[in-house]
């Protein structure tokens, strides 16, 4: 007869395997699905995530700050911002305090586009989430949030 401890270990192993499969798959499916959806707005995933990072910072920030928030190196951000700026979705403003750097921010056009995309996403999620009982919903959110934070912490550590 097996001990309770061994039983729990086996269960943990099984759960870890399942979790490994789900998170790997979910990351890729999410990425490809987002790319597909953003295409109709003529945006790429990195462009969208950069705009989102700008919105989240809330105020004009430097290229370096933006690069860090968007999980990119600064050379990459330069290219992304160039393309977004050509379409008047973001703007570089001179920074009188330090003439080496800019203040980058979303234009009103950029902010509106971001709102439109967010609204579309909320509509899709509403259908899915309204099928879950309130307690399950909140438990899911809490666990996802913990997991996300664990991932973000880990990313910072390996920097």
In the complex, least distance from residue 94 CB atom to its own copies, rounded to whole angstroms: 30
Which residue from 23, 64, 149, 152 is in contact with DNA, where contact means CB under 7 A?
64
CA 101 to chain centre: 25
Q: Counting contacts by CB under 8 A, is residue 71 touching its own copies?
A: yes
Which of 118, 120, 140 lies closest to 56 in space, CA to CA? Answer: 118
> How big is the site for its own copies, counted in residues (CB under 8 A)?
55
Q: Closest Cα to residue 144, out of 13, 38, 32, 26?
A: 26
From the CB of 72, what's the least distance to its own copies, in Å? 8
- Measured at the CA of 116, the angle between CA 110 and CA 119, to 5 degrees, comes to 140
CA separation for the pair 103, 71 (Å, rounded)? 18
Residue 39 binds its own copies, judged by CB under 8 A: no
Q: What does the per-residue mask of binding to its own copies show for 106-125, with x meaning CB under 8 A?
A: ------------x--xx-xx
Residue 15, interface with its own copies (CB under 8 A)?
Answer: yes
The reply on whether position 93 binds its own copies by CB under 8 A is no
Q: Calculate the CA 72 to chain-centre distance.
A: 12
Q: Report the length, in residues, of the chain.
A: 159
Residue 98 CB, nearest approach to DNA (Å): 5
Which one of DNA, its own copies, none interacts with residue 112, CB within 5 to 8 A by kind?
Answer: none
């Amino acid at each position: 007869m097996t001990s309770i401890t061994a039983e729990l270990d086996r269960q943990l192993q099984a759960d870890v395997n399942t979790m490994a499969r789900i998170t790997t798959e979910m990351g890729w499916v999410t990425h490809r699905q987002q790319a597909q959806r953003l295409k109709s707005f003529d945006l790429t995933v990195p462009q969208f995530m950069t705009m989102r990072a700008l919105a989240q910072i809330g105020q004009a920030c430097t290229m370096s700050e933006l690069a860090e928030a968007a999980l990119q190196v600064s050379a990459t951000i330069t290219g992304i911002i160039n393309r977004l700026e050509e379409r008047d979705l973001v703007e570089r403003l001179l920074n009188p305090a330090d003439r080496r750097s800019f203040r980058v921010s979303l234009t009103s056009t950029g902010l509106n586009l971001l709102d439109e995309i967010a609204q579309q996403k909320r509509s899709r999620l509403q259908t899915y989430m309204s099928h879950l009982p309130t307690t399950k919903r909140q438990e899911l959110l809490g666990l996802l949030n913990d997991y996300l934070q664990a991932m973000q912490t880990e990313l910072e550590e390996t920097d």
